[in-house]
Each structure stands twice: as C-alpha cells, then as structure tokens.
Structure 1
Amino acid sequence: MSVPPGGGPLEVLLLPPDREGVLDARALERSLPDANVRLASSLADAVSRYDAAVDCAVSGFRVPGGTAVDLRERAEVDADRTPHIVVVEAEDGRVPVEAVQEPFADLVPAAGEDDTTAAVRESIEKVVSERRSPHLAGDWPSDRRALNDRKASILDQFFTKIPQHLFVKDASARNVMISEAAVSRRIHRLSDDYLGKRDIDGVVPVEEAREPYEDDLAVIRTGEPILEKEEYYPTSDRWFRTSKVPWEEAGDVVGVLGASQEITEEKKRERQLEIVNHHVRHAMRNDLNAVAGWIDVVRNREDGDRNEDGEDRNEDGEDRNEDGEDRQRDDEILDRVSRITERLCNRVEKQQAIVDAVSTEPEPAPRDLSAVVESELRAVADEYESLRIDADIDRDVTAVADEGVDQVVRELIENAVQHSEGRVPEIGVTLHRNGDRAEIHVRDDCTAIPTYEREILTGEREIDQLNHSSGLGLWLVRWLVENSEGRVEFGRTDVGGNDVAVTFPSPG
C-alpha cells in the first residue's frame, strides 16, 4: 500500500460488518503497513473516531448499531472528500437499494473472508489513487478524468500567471516546461530561451552554469530534493533562492521540478545591515575606548594628587601654577570627551537613519528636486554660520526620488565639513538637468576620499576587519540614492578635492 501523494500515512476508518466471517479486519489492517487504521467496534464508536483527517472509510453495509447510511449521516462523512467503501451482503441475490442510492466510492460484494479482505484492500488502493491530493474542499469532480482536467487547468495557470521562475526538466536536465508569466527579472533570459536546453547550453553564463547543472543531475540520480538553496550569479549581481525536487512517474525519477525566486533585495539588505554592524563594532568601539582612556588619565592624576596631599609643599606659587595647569588639562580632556560623545551621538543618528532606509519599502515618486536642495542649503547655512556654499540650482527640476532624498545633500555637505581638518571648507553645489536625468554635484576642496574607501562604497572592494569605510554618512547617501533608483559616483575636482555626483531619473 503506497502513501498517498498528499504526504503522511493514509488514515483509514474501519467498521467491519455486523456478522463475523465476512471481513478479516486484522488481516486487512496487517495488509496496510503504511496506513493508520482506526478500528471501530460499533456505529457510535466509528462516529466518535471519524474526523477531517480520515482519508478513507470502510464499513459493512449492516454494522453493529445501524447501517453504512447511518454512519454517513451521523458522522457527516463528506463523500466528495472521503471515499467510503462498503462491503455488501446480497440477500436472495439482491443488494440493498440504499447501498446503490448513496454516493459510496465502491461496493464490494461479500464472498469468503479472505477474498473479501483482498477485494477491500484493492478497492482502497483504487479509490485512494484517485483521491484528490492534497486535501481539497468544495465542489470538486469525483471522477478521475474530470479531476485530472481540473488539475491540468490549474497547473497551466500556475505556469502562465504566477510571477516566478518555474521549470520542469527531463532526465537529461533539459528544460521541457518553463513558466510564461511576466517575470520582470528572470535569471538570465526570457522563458522561450530555456526550452530544450540545459543550464550549461548557454542558458546561464558558462562560469555560473556548472553548479546548478550538477544540482539537477544530483536530484535525478539520487531522488533527493535540494530545497531553498541560495544561488549567486555574479555576472548580473543577482541572488536567487531555488528548490528542486525529483519528478517521478510510476516510481521512477524522470526529471526535475523546480522553482526559483529572486532574493537580490533581501541579500542587499542583509549586506547593508552587516556593514552597519561592522561599523558599530569597529568605529564605535574605538570611540568608547578613547573615552575610557581619558577617564583613566583623570583617575590616575587624581590618585597622584591624593598621594601628594600627605607631603609638604615648600612654595605656594608652585601650587597655584600647578592648579592652573591641572584645570587647563581638565578642560582639554573634557573638550576631547565632548567631541567624541558628539561623534557617537551622530553615529547613532546615522545608524537609525540607515536602519529606516533599509527596513522600509522605497517609494520613489516625482519630487521637486530644486525645492528640496534649496531647503537643505538653508538648513545647513543655519547650522554652520561660517560656512559659505557656492550654489547653482536650476529652477523647477523634477526627479523620481524616495522621500529620503533630502538627507543626501545634507550628508554630502556635512561629510566635507567633518573632513576639513578644522578649517572652513569651500563647497559648491549644483543641480542641473542632463537629458532625461537630474544631476546634483557636491564639490569640496578637502582631502580626497581614499581610493580604497571609494571602492568599498561602490562595491569594487569587500569590507572586512582591516579594510572599512570611515563613516556611515556616505553609506547612507548610497542607499538612499539606490532606493530612488539613482546612481552615485565619486570623482575629484581639478584642485584635488572631491566631486560627488548624484543622478536621479526624471519622471517619464
């Protein structure tokens, strides 16, 4: 007896006929090793044992306490969902008319005990093989042909409407069926380009095709599924989560059934949080260590002062001078600690802004970029009174951008201020239309952003313990612009400063 395709053991409710010698219940139970048989002793017992998990009911027509019709009515057996097989004893060669009128799945004539038991077992295999799987509810056809037609219609709609990369491959790992839905970003090609080909036949770039092809062969060879495997395709910088299961017919593996869902955005967010976590562990730990170091300086000096209190000092003037020097050192230490804590607070705010940026769904929309840039320039001028910005802003420049675009200009200006080495930097901001794009340039005369840092920000270099970006501000800029489907480029000015270009698409 095979396990039903819905998964899990078959659940059979068995209520033998009311007369012994008709059906060997124990023998039937032993012949169904892959099934759970609920053996009932009476009609009332069978009703109490029947529930939605029952896959097949077997009973005599006449049972202790009533009939099979009573069992159907009292247990509310759903004939469309649960097949009911009835063992019928003909009286004077006649079958009870109620047995014929009721929608039982099968009627098994009572013969010798062994023959009846074998016939019931065969009947169970027949009706279960036609059983809907997984469990279905509602107005579904009961005959196998109509049910298969219904399944084929549903399968066709899965492959034509679900926006996911679904595929069927034969025993040679050739694609024989591919979803036709409008998948905006299929792995590499349109669906028709896959048909009749293996991954190594040019469907996927050759350097990326070997592993998925070998996965296909492994599933076909072993019959073991590969579930939710994350696959990276570096030539397109995209990630997919793929599941492959054996395609079986008559107990043999004849190919592969699979589904692949793009998870590039999910992996990008993981990467973003990894970068933030790395920065927190590295940069913030350094700042906290610096604060702890200055606290130790003050504590050690106070300990020395307490030791000297027990010693006589010869000259009051020297004491006054030393007191003045101590106060000056204290002020310097407090200034340093204050700057460090201010930097820590700024990083915490940047952290929160980044978490907000990566955890919310971007909503790019047409925005008045001219108004946004001018508003941010006024806010920066109020905060940094000595700062002078040379601005050249075109009027009425509209671009498609996320609502966080206002932070982009502020972060780029503040980045220049923070790296100006204590002087007032010269900063220029421009906003111009350039064909179907809007371009913002923020230029400064500060030390150029190091090459390794620019490479990290653009993804050309991996971030690691020895190789990290110095601040979160530029990361925030990059991710806010990406949320707006824009682009950030890091260049240099003629005098060796930085020229950060941010490009946004214009509304259609």
Structure 2
Amino acid sequence: MVERAHERLTDAAAHWWFYVYAVVGFVAAVGYVYVVGWSVAVGLETLILLALSATLVYSGVDARGRDVSQPGLVRAAKLTTLTGVSFSLLAVAVALIWLLEGHPVVDVEFMVVFAMWLGLAVGAQASLYAVVSEEKRTRLADLVKLLTMNQRVLRHNLRNELAVVDGHLQNLETRLGAGDEDVAVARLHVDELLENSERTRRILDIWESGDCREQDAGAVLADAVERLRQQYPGADVEIAATEDAAVSAHPALEDALYEVLANAVEHNDESVRITASVRNPPGDDVVVEVADTGSGIPGREYDVLDQPEETTLSHASGLGLWLVYWTVRESGGSVEFADDGDGTTVRFRLPDATAEPGVWERLVARAR
C-alpha cells in the first residue's frame, strides 16, 4: 500500500521534476561563479547555464499543457535524467581523452556542468515529444481495433437485429392495418437506423480500402443523377455542362455525388432546382459541382468536417456528409461548401488522371 501511494505521489508530481532540474541548474550556475570567481568569461558561461535552466522551466509548463498521461510524464522525466547524465559522461570522456593525449584540459568543471544541463534541456523536449507520439500511436492502434469491432457489429449484429424488428413490424401492420400510427413511427425509426448503419458500414469500407481508379467524372455524375431521378421522380435536376474529364478517385465517388444530390432534394421543398456540372480547367484539378436553389446546408453541418473531432455541441446530424468527406479525402481531393443565400453549392476538386506528372512524381515513379 505504501509503495502504491508512493507511485501515485510520483505520478502526480511528474511535471515538477522539470522545475526541480531548473532550480538545480540555477543553483549550479550561481555556485559555479562562487567557486571559480567572477570574470567576464565566467559571467558569459553562467548566462549560458541560466538560459539552459530556463528552458527546463518551459519544459515543465509544456508538460502540463500536453495531452499525455501521468505515467507518460514520469517516463519523460526519467528519459530526461538519462539524457543529462549521458551528456555529462560524454563530456568527462572527452576531457579524459584530451588528458591521455597530452592536450591541455581547461575549464573541465564548466564543460561537464554545461553538458549536463544541455542534455537535460534537449532531453526534456525530446522525451516529451517521444512519449506523446508513442501514446498517440497506441491510441490510434486502439481506435483502429475499435473501428474494426464497430464495423463487424454494424455489418452483422445490428442489421440482423433490426431485420427481426422489421419483420415483427410487418406482422403488426398485417394485424392492425397499415395506417396504425405507432407502427408507422416505429417503422420510420427502424428504417433510419438501417440507413445509418448502412452508411456507417460504407464509410468504414471507404476508409479501409483507399484504392483509387481512373473514372470518367461526367459519366459518374450522369449515373448519380439517373439514380436520383429513379428514387425521386419529381426532382428538378439537370446536368448543366459536362466536359471530358478523367479523374483518379475512390470507387465510392458515385455514392458521394448521390448523397449530395439526395441531400438537396430531401432537405428542401418541391420547388428546389438542382444543377450539376463538370469542369476540367487546364493544369488544374477537375471540378464537379452540385448547386441547388434551396435554403442551403446549415454551416454547423459541414464546419464539423474541419474540426479534429465531433462533440456534443458541434456534430453533423447525419452521416451523408461524412461519406462525402471520406470519399473525396481518400481520392486525394477536397470538398468545398458555399452558401450565397440563394442555395448551396458543393464543389468537389479531384485529381486529373490525365495530368502530366511533375518532376517529383516522375522521380517517384522511376524509383518504383
């Protein structure tokens, strides 16, 4: 129990080790002046030691502000100590080599003290960076496992259970009639869950299989529009202009375009008009645009795509935009949203598959 309490105390005070190193450095600098005596050269040497000690104060503040566990901070403090000791031993070894070779050895005390605090200053930042990187790598590995498990659950368990519920709802409809309100509401929510689970599965598939292929952007857009017309026969949608454009994109490009088109239909009234186009500017990315005359996508819906993570205060209400985001990202392109008050324009920028590769790309191709 005493040992565990000591470990908890050590963990809680981990970042304070950097301040301790700094204080000892300040004391060593003052003591060095006292032992050697004052001179301009000694003053400059003392200033160097004080500056190195000040960097350790910064490391202590930096350690508190970093996203790192307390055990990680303890490990960083130990690595810092080891680096400082290693630098000082290196200075001693250099001094001994000079002595054995008959060279005059001057100011050994400063050289050893300087090497020690130089090692502590360098080791503090290097160890913090190493520990933070290691913990992030571990967290990412755990996240991949979680995503894999999530995909397996969504692909099998959840869909199977929802299919059972859907079957029982059909039986209830047969008994109570298709107009029963409770059954209709339950079926609506089951359908939404099935749709979201399917979209999540597709997003995970996109993330796992990042292989791109050459596609005709105009043909893909035409297929997405035809798919929309079949699903929504009354939709006012037209392809305004299509240029010959071969893009390098993920196979899910048609799904991403359909999501944007369907979003414009589902979130606006029947009077909305949708236009789609493909442009292939010389020497630039291929641009695929979908514009509508509706009320537009709320900024909070697509602003979350640029944030590091979703939160309870800022999150996308559906998964369609995430499917679009990951498809375009895995294609090596970008997606932009513009709302001018008269509707929303969603703009895909995709790599031109026929573009002449640059110097760096040609060197990489030759190396392969």
TM-score (norm 1): 0.38
Given that residues 219 and 246 in structure 1 are in contact (C-alpha distance below 8 angstroms), is that contact kept between their aligned partners in structure 2?
no
Unaligned runs of 5+ in 2: 1-24, 26-51, 56-60, 67-72, 93-114, 358-368
Instruction: Report the alpha carbon displacement of residue 480 of structure 1 after superposing the two structures with TM.
Output: 0.9
1:368 pairs, out of 216, 240, 254, with 216
Determine if the alignment matches structure 1 residue 463 to structure 2 residue 298.
Answer: no
1:407 pairs, out of 242, 255, 271, with 255
SS of the equivalent of 1:428 reads: strand
Partner of 1:500: 346
Closer, same or farther: CA 334–215 of 1 in aligned 2, 3 Å: closer
Instruction: Report the alpha carbon displacement of residue 376 of structure 1 after superposing the two structures with TM.
Output: 1.9
Partner of 1:432: 279
Cα deviation digits, residues 306-334 of structure 1 (max 9, x gap): xxxxxxxxxxxxxxxxxxxx96861x333
Which residue type is aligned with residue 351 of structure 1? T
Partner of 1:231: none
Which residue type is aligned with residue 418 of structure 1? E
Closer, same or farther: CA 267–485 of 1 in aligned 2, 3 Å: farther
Determine if the alignment matches structure 1 residue 341 to structure 2 residue 200.
Answer: no
SS of the equivalent of 1:464 reads: coil
Cα deviation digits, residues 466-490 of structure 1 (max 9, x gap): 3321100001101111111111111
Given that residues 425 and 444 in structure 1 are in contact (C-alpha distance below 8 angstroms), is that contact kept between their aligned partners in structure 2?
yes
Given that residues 220 and 246 in structure 1 are in contact (C-alpha distance below 8 angstroms), is that contact kept between their aligned partners in structure 2?
no
1:223 pairs, out of 82, 104, 110, with 82
Greater relative contact order (CA < 8 Å, ≥ 6 in sequence):
2
Partner of 1:317: none
Which residue type is aligned with residue 358 of structure 1? W
- State the distance in 2 between where 1:269 and 1:391 align: 44
**Structure showing the higher strand proportion among its residues:** 1
Partner of 2:290: 442
Partner of 1:40: none
- State the distance in 2 between where 1:406 and 1:473 align: 13
Which residue type is aligned with residue 338 of structure 1? R
Determine if the alignment matches structure 1 residue 390 to structure 2 residue 249.
Answer: no
Given that residues 350 and 476 in structure 1 are in contact (C-alpha distance below 8 angstroms), is that contact kept between their aligned partners in structure 2?
yes
Which residue type is aligned with residue 335 of structure 1? A
Q: After the TM superposition, which residues 55-454 of structure 1 pair with which residues of structure 2 at under 5 Å, given as runs? A: 218=77, 221-223=80-82, 255=119, 270=143, 330=180, 332-360=181-209, 362-420=210-268, 423=270, 425-435=272-282, 436-454=284-302
Closer, same or farther: CA 267–419 of 1 in aligned 2, 3 Å: farther
Closer, same or farther: CA 218–401 of 1 in aligned 2, 3 Å: same
Instruction: Report the alpha carbon displacement of residue 251 of structure 1 after superposing the two structures with TM.
Output: 12
**Structure showing the higher helix proportion among its residues:** 2
Instruction: Report the alpha carbon displacement of residue 383 of structure 1 after superposing the two structures with TM.
Output: 2.4
- Give the count of matched residue pairs: 238
SS of the equivalent of 2:280 reads: strand
Instruction: Report the alpha carbon displacement of residue 357 of structure 1 after superposing the two structures with TM.
Output: 1.6
Partner of 1:229: none
Given that residues 302 and 321 in structure 2 are in contact (C-alpha distance below 8 angstroms), is that contact kept between their aligned partners in structure 1?
no
- State the distance in 2 between where 1:247 and 1:365 align: 53
- State the distance in 2 between where 1:453 and 1:246 align: 53
Sequence identity (%) = 24
Instruction: Report the alpha carbon displacement of residue 414 of structure 1 after superposing the two structures with TM.
Output: 1.6
Point out the structure with max Rg over C-alpha.
1
Q: After the TM superposition, which residues 456-495 of structure 1 pair with which residues of structure 2 at under 5 Å, given as runs? A: 456-459=304-307, 463-495=310-342
Cα deviation digits, residues 238-264 of structure 1 (max 9, x gap): xxxxxxx96795798974588967979
Given that residues 370 and 393 in structure 1 are in contact (C-alpha distance below 8 angstroms), is that contact kept between their aligned partners in structure 2?
no
| TM-align CA RMSD | 4.7
- State the distance in 2 between where 1:457 and 1:268 align: 22
